[in-house]
């Protein structure tokens, strides 16, 4: 670990206790959504479109309804109409199609029956008549003049002048600064490159699953796996046209999300089926459904032009970014525009980013959405420039890196950030100068992500024995319960194992936004700290009563109320001593913290990849990997390392293997883990994670989110290493064996720039 | 309260491309009202999913955020995450 | 449809259940026996989340028909701990933070135990190939491999 700034010494923060939910997870007792079964439950199955683009002419459910065991069949007609101007219109018509299907796998109906086999048979008996429409499957097709329109009402947002005709371009984002032409005129070296990338899936191991139990009183309880159960509640309510208060959502353990479980797919269908049948309904997606109908990250076409002076100063940047977010408008282009030049001082720039709709599954967030792709383009180009100028690639980045006070693309000056520290940590690591073997190459790349704050709530309850329960509303994807317990232990002075961190349901804790944007330990941690600080005020008051002194003479030190007044010696009171007498001093000890967290500190990461290319087959094997990342303060360093290492593995998969493959009709051809290959243990080496700590001034412990940034640098780090090994620049993802081999053979191993 | 307003470049349409303007307001909401009076149409743009950065703090829902005289307010697009 | 009666041993105890002829052993364990430790991540034998050991052989229980379990000896993650003693693999996964979301963890533990039963002192490469049938999307495998190394050491010392 590299500690770059002095930090206070903590008793618990920064230690590595066994996570509180660990025992359940290593014994098989943890209850994930598909592990839950309710008395009398039915099984729900979704009927999905076989076509990428079609008008629904009719749906005949009569045969299905008459089959054995079938208790309910629903279609889009069972849900209230939704206006295209509604904020969640896209989500609503994605969960269940109304007049049109927009991708293969789009839900058109759902069936509930006593057994899963019966439900499957009935789903197959739902007769849907389609009028097949020409499908738009690529960015080029979507933008071609006269292209079939996915959404008749879609006018390009952000267009200037305003769009007059509907198109498949959902929005345009433009940023600029300085004078672009003057910047390029000043440059001694100008390069322009184009890149293409394909959609990839988050690949969480747990398929989406839920159980909904709708009572005859019109209230429902949903047990489900999601990154945010309050969002499941509000989105489900929107789709059903219900009040939130009719829906209680109880979070199950979540088996991975990475952004893909920030939206919903099954829950409103399960509720509607349950309401119709008067029984609980369980729905579990197959892996095939997960691939076809949920979450890919966008595919892109990117073109970037950079100008640099011979001394290494970047002077101009021009980016034209096109993201496709599947069949609906998405934020890919905006986020690409906000990240592409964000890490570097580029005084003159223009960025134009488009979001384009095509007939593929609606994209969902995936860890630092959009940023890995802009990093792929930018960081491989920086590598080219550094080589051309004869400057060490890390020194070149340090020379141009943003530091505190530099303006972001959006204009605001950065607060204290740790980018240069991350670069230095990798430069100073033994990996950077270690010798390489034959056919091996080394690549370095950096990454950036904003991180977000949003709303969080926490309740701290002190138990009669002096232990504490900390209830938050943030589903624990990767160890956040342990982080909450560590911060509470630090605040209260209670041993970390005497704190039980719990994820509360929508009726057990205050509103909490989705676990996304690397916000749980940052924002929910702030709520925990706030609740604990209120608890300490309460504890001091109770202790003052017990000692018969003024509360101003009580300090809270190391888990004890300590008398600091001048009226003689008084024995300190522990939490257990205070809680034991709670009934006599005012009742149970409970405190809450609810807040909108401001000041999420940006996260930077720098990765170093050593790999070996088999010149006969084009197979790339990563042989050594070192990754630094600014965590602000690592609350539980093991789980910070885990976030970094996990991001590396996903990024390496994205770089080398992963892609959605569609046939000419828009049918996904690789919807299984056999054909959509994610990295396995034998594909990867150990991943040396360097935690850099440049505390975020906005957080009581200096936390920056760490969940996302780690996936940003791997693609360009791998690409730069492949270049170092082969002399080939590959500008299309994935860099699969066939593409690498093709590059080697067509370039004869020479520089492919 | 006189406030220095910095607009990210995608928000400069109503100001005719001007990046920095002066406006008044004791809260961000009041500031946006004043900006809308000075630059018609800017209010809608700033109320639709825009965050601010004040004193280095990113604030996602700033309507009632108090402003000091001479504050520097940066309007930026709202971000998302995975 | 008449159901099939299966008699077998699960985690050392005699067990019997009724299943459909076409039901997978994974579904039978989860839905008929009530052991939900094994997970379905894919249903096609590609992810290893449903790993079990049957008659000493590591298998994806989603690829085994439930009636095939008749007369067999089955071990699942629920049988790894002995009373209140965790298996060294479980203990090392906990101490080494070798899990994040935890959904792949039961499969990894079962597969790692099968590996160590066969090869008590594996190299890092042998561990990586021994666990290559199990997908983890959270950890990047680093801490899993280290936990298995640590568990092997613990077992070999005792």
pLDDT tens, position by position, A329-352: 989 999 999 999 999 999 999 999
pLDDT > 70? residue A467: yes
Average pLDDT over residues A21-29: 98
CA A738 to chain centre: 30
> Contacts of residue B79 in chain A, CB cutoff 8 Å?
335, 338, 450, 452, 517
Instruction: Tell me: pLDDT of A161 over 90.
Output: no
pLDDT at A313 over 90: yes
Q: A408-428: per-residue pLDDT in tens?
A: 998 999 999 999 999 999 999
Residues A175, B8: C-beta atoms closer than 8 Å = yes
**Class of residue A463 by CB neighbours under 10 A (exposed 0-12, middle 13-18, buried 19+):** middle
- With CA atoms as reference, the chain C residue closest to A710 would be C140
Domain co-membership, C108 together with C132 = yes
Q: What is the mean pLDDT of residues A223-250?
A: 97
pLDDT at A328 over 80: yes
Cβ neighbour number for residue A234 with a 10 Å cutoff: 18
B34-41 CB contacts, 8 Å cutoff, 24+ apart? B35/B5, B39/B14, B39/B15, B40/B14, B41/B13, B41/B14
pLDDT at A52 over 70: yes
In angstroms, the Cα distances linking A369 to A199, A447, A599, A709, B82 are 12, 12, 20, 10, 6
The three-point CA angle C112-C116-C122 to 5° equals 100
Which two tokens mark A521? 């330990």
pLDDT higher for A410 or A447?
A447
- Over residues A2-6, the mean pLDDT reads 56
Q: Would strands A590-597 and A454-462 be described as parallel, antiparallel, or unpaired? A: antiparallel
The yes-or-no answer to whether A411-448+601-747 and A454-597 have a common fold is yes
| Mean pLDDT across A675-690 | 98
- Which among A421, A381, A379, A385 has a CA at the least distance from the CA of A403? A421
Q: pLDDT band at residue B13, thresholds of 50, 70 and 90?
A: confident
Residue of A nearest to C102 (CA): A25
For chains C and B, tell me whether 3 or more CB atom pairs sit within 8 A of each other.
no
- Against chain C, the chains showing at least 3 CB pairs within 8 Å are A
- pLDDT, residue A7, reads 73
Distance from CA of A389 to the nearest CA of B (A): 31
Is residue C60 domain-shared with residue C110, that is, in the same domain?
A: no
Query: What is the per-residue pLDDT for A371?
Result: 98
Residues C98 and C117 occupy one common structural domain: yes
Question: Could you tell me which CATH class the domain A454-597 is placed in?
Answer: alpha beta
User: Does C69 share its domain with C24?
Assistant: yes
The minimum CA-CA distance between B62 and chain A, rounded to whole Å, is 10
C97 and C48 within one domain = no
Strands A573-574 and A590-597: unpaired
A649 neighbourhood in chain C, CB within 8 Å: 137, 139-141
Distance CA A556, CA A671 (A): 57
Say whether the C–A interface has 3 or more Cβ pairs within 8 Å: yes
Give the rounded percent of residues in chain A with a pLDDT score beyond 70. 98
Give residue-wise pLDDT tens across range A253-288: 999 999 999 999 999 999 999 999 999 999 999 999
Encoded tokens for A301: 């076409």
CB within 8 Å: B74 and A259: no
Q: What is the pLDDT of residue A747?
A: 76
Of C79, C111, C140, the position where a domain reaches its end is C79
Chain B residues whose CB is inside 8 A of the A158 CB are 10
Q: Is the pLDDT reported for residue A533 higher than 50?
A: yes
Domain ranges of chain A: 411-448+601-747, 454-597
Q: How confident is the model at residue A5 (pLDDT cuts 50, 70, 90)?
A: low
Question: What average pLDDT does range C79-102 have in this prediction?
Answer: 97
The last residue of a domain, from among C22, C51, C79: C79
Residue A206 to residue C103, Cβ atoms within 8 A: yes
Range of the domain at C70: 4-79
Choice among A689-703, B37-51, C47-61 with the minimum mean pLDDT:
B37-51
Average pLDDT over residues A184-210: 98
Q: Is C107 found in the same domain as C145?
A: yes
List chain C residues with CB under 8 Å of A287.
41-44, 46-47
Which conformational region is residue A690 in: left (phi greater than 0), alpha (psi within -120 to 50 degrees), or beta? beta
Query: Considering Cα of A540, then A543, then A545, then A547, what sign does the dihedral take?
Result: negative
Peptide bond just before A101 cis, omega within 30 deg: no
Mutate to test the interface with B, among A200, A412, A647, A712 (most CBs of B within 10 A): A412
Q: Omega into A161 within 30° of 0, i.e. cis?
A: yes
Asked if residue C40 and residue C10 are part of one domain, the reply reads: yes
What pLDDT, on the 0 to 100 scale, is given for residue B50?
Answer: 86
Question: Per the CB < 8 Å rule, is A160 touching B80?
Answer: no
Output the DSSP codes for A659-718.
Answer: ---B-TTS-BS--STTTS----GGG---EEEEEEE---TTSTT-----TTGGGSSHHHHH
> Using CB atoms, which residue from B19, B79, B80 is nearest to A411?
B19
What's the CATH architecture for A411-448+601-747?
Answer: 2-Layer Sandwich (3.30)
Q: Do B74 and A411 touch (CB under 8 A)?
A: yes
Look at residue A535 and tell me whether its pLDDT is greater than 70: yes
Count of CB pairs separated by less than 8 Å, A with B:
94
Task: Look at residues A530, A529, A538, A459 and name the one whose alpha carbon lies nearest to residue A501.
Answer: A459
- Are B and A touching by the rule of 3+ CB pairs within 8 Å? yes
The CATH number for C133's domain is: 1.10.150.120
* Mean pLDDT of all residues in A142-167: 94
Q: How confident is the model at residue C133 (pLDDT cuts 50, 70, 90)?
A: very high
Which residues in B have their CB inside 8 Å of a CB on A? 6-10, 13, 19, 53, 56-61, 74, 76-77, 79-82
Total of domains in chain C = 2
DSSP A285-312: --HHHHHHHS-PBPEEEEEEEEEE-TTS
**Cβ distance A451 to A600 under 8 Å?**
yes
CA distance, residue B45 to nearest chain A CA (Å): 10
Mutation for A interface: C20, C47, C142, most A CBs within 10 A: C142
Between A617 and A153, where is the model more confident? A617
Domains located in chain B, CATH noted: 2-77 (3.10.20.30)
* CA–CA distance, A563 with A409 (Å, rounded to integer): 53
Residue C103 contacts residue C96 (beta carbons within 8 Å): no
Q: Which of B9, B58, B82 minimises the CB distance to A258?
A: B82
The SS3 of residue C5 is: strand
Give Cα A713 distance to the centre of its chain: 15
Indicate the residue among C21, C51, C79 that finishes a domain: C79
First CA to last CA across chain C, in angstroms?
Answer: 51
Residues C108 and C137 in one domain: yes
> Is C20's pLDDT higher than 80?
yes
Same domain for C68 and C102 = no
Nearest to B55 by CA among A700, A415, A595: A415
Helices (H) and strands (E) in chain C, counts: 5, 5
Q: What is the CATH number of the domain that holds C30?
A: 3.10.20.30
Q: Is there a single domain that holds both residue C103 and residue C151?
A: yes
When pLDDT is cut at 50, 70 and 90, the band that residue C1 belongs to is low
ipTM over 0.95: yes
- For this structure, is A490 an active site residue? no
pLDDT for residue A4: 54
Predicted confidence at residue C158, as pLDDT, reads: 84
Read off φ and ψ for residue A258, nearest 5 degrees: 60, 25
Given the residues A454, A516, A693, A708, the one annotated as active site = A708
Both C109 and C61 in a single domain?
no
Judge whether residue A748 has pLDDT over 70.
Answer: no
């Amino acid at each position: 670990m590299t500690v770059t700034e002095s930090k206070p010494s903590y008793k618990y923060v920064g230690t590595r206790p066994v996570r509180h939910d660990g025992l359940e997870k290593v014994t098989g007792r943890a209850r994930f959504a598909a592990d839950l079964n309710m008395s009398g439950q039915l099984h729900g199955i979704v009927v999905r479109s076989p076509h990428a683009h079609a008008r629904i002419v009719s749906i005949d459910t009569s045969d299905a309804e008459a089959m054995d065991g079938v208790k309910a069949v629903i279609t889009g007609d069972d849900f209230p109409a939704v206006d295209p101007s509604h904020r969640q219109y896209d989500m609503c018509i994605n969960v269940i199609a109304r007049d049109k299907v927009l991708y293969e796998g789009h839900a058109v109906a759902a069936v509930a029956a006593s057994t899963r086999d019966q439900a499957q048979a009935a789903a197959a008996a739902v007769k849907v008549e389609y009028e097949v429409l020409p499908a738009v499957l690529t960015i080029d097709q979507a933008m071609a003049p006269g292209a079939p329109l996915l959404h008749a009402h879609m006018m390009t947002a952000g267009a200037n002048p305003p769009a007059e005709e509907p198109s498949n371009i959902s929005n345009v984002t433009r940023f600029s600064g300085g004078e672009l032409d003057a910047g390029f005129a000043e440059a001694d070296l100008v390069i322009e490159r184009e890149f293409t990338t394909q959609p990839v899936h988050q690949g969480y191991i747990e398929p989406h699953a839920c159980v909904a139990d709708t009572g005859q009183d019109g209230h429902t309880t949903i047990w489900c796996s999601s990154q945010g159960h309050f969002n499941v509640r509000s989105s489900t309510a929107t789709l059903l046209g219900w009040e939130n208060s009719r829906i209680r959502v109880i979070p199950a353990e979540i088996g991975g999300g990475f952004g893909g479980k920030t939206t919903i797919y099954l829950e409103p269908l399960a509720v509607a089926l349950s309401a119709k049948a008067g029984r609980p309904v369980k729905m579990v997606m197959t892996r095939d459904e997960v691939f076809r109908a949920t979450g890919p990250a966008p595919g892109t076409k990117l073109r970037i032009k950079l100008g640099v002076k011979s001394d290494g100063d970047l002077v101009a940047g021009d980016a034209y970014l096109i993201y496709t977010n599947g069949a609906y408008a998405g934020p890919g282009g905006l986020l690409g525009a906000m990240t592409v030049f964000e890490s570097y001082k580029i005084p003159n720039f223009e960025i134009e980013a488009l979001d384009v709709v095509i007939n593929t599954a609606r994209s969902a967030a995936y860890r630092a959405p959009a940023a890995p792709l802009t990093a792929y383009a930018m960081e491989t180009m920086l590598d080219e420039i550094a080589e051309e100028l004869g400057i060490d690639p890390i020194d070149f980045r340090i020379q141009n890196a943003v530091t505190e006070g530099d303006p972001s693309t959006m204009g605001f000056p950065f607060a204290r950030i740790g980018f240069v520290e991350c670069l230095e940590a990798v430069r100073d690591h033994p990996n950077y100068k270690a010798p390489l073997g034959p056919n091996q190459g080394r690549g370095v790349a950096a990454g950036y992500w904003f991180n977000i704050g949003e709303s969080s709530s926490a309740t701290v309850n002190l138990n009669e024995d002096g232990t504490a329960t900390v209830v938050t509303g943030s589903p624990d994807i990767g160890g956040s319960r342990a982080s909450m317990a560590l911060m509470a232990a630090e605040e209260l002075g209670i041993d970390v194992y005497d704190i039980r961190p719990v994820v509360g349901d929508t009726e057990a804790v205050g509103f909490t936004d989705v676990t996304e944007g690397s916000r749980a330990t940052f924002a929910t941690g702030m709520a925990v700290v706030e609740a604990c600080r209120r608890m300490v005020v309460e504890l001091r008051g109770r202790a003052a009563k017990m000692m018969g002194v003024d509360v101003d003479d009580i300090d809270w030190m190391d888990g004890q109320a300590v008398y600091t007044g001048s009226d003689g010696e008084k024995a300190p009171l522990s939490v257990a001593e205070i809680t034991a007498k709670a009934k006599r001093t005012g009742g149970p000890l409970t405190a809450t913290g609810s807040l909108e967290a401001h000041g999420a500190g940006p996260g930077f990461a720098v990765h170093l990849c050593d790999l070996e290319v088999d010149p006969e087959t084009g197979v790339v094997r990563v042989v050594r990997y070192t990754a630094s990342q600014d965590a602000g303060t690592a609350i539980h360093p093991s789980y910070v390392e885990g976030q970094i290492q996990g991001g590396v593995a996903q990024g390496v998969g994205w770089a080398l293997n992963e892609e959605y493959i569609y046939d000419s009709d828009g049918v996904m051809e690789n919807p299984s883990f056999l054909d959509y290959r994610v990295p396995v243990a034998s594909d990867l080496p150990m991943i040396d994670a360097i935690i850099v700590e440049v505390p975020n001034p906005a957080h009581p412990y200096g936390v920056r989110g760490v969940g996302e940034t780690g996936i940003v640098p791997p693609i360009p780090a791998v690409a730069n290493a492949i270049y170092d090994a082969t002399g080939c620049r590959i500008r299309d993802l994935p860099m699969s064996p066939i593409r690498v081999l093709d590059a080697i053979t067509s370039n004869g191993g020479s520089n492919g720039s | 309260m006189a406030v220095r307003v910095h607009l990210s470049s995608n928000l400069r349409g109503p100001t005719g491309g001007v990046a920095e303007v002066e406006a008044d307001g004791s809260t961000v909401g009041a500031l946006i009202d004043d900006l809308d009076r000075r630059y018609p149409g800017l209010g809608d743009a700033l109320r639709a999913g825009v965050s601010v950065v004040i004193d280095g703090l990113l604030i996602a829902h700033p309507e009632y955020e108090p402003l000091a005289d001479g504050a520097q307010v940066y309007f930026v697009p709202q971000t998302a995450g995975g | 449809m008449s159901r099939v009666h299966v008699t077998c041993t699960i985690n050392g105890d005699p067990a019997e259940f009724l299943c459909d002829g076409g039901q997978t052993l994974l579904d039978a364990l989860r839905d008929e026996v009530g052991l939900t430790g094994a997970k379905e991540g894919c249903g096609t034998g590609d992810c290893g989340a449903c790993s079990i050991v049957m008659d000493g052989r590591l298998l994806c229980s989603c690829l085994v028909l439930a009636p095939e379990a008749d007369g067999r000896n089955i071990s699942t993650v629920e049988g790894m701990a002995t009373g209140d003693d965790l298996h060294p693999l479980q203990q090392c996964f906990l101490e080494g933070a070798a899990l994040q979301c935890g959904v792949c963890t039961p499969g990894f533990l079962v597969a790692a135990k099968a590996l160590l039963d066969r090869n008590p002192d594996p190299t890092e490469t042998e561990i990586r190939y021994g666990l290559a049938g199990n997908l983890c999307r959270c950890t990047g495998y680093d801490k899993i491999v280290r936990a298995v190394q640590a568990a092997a050491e613990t077992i070999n010392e005792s």
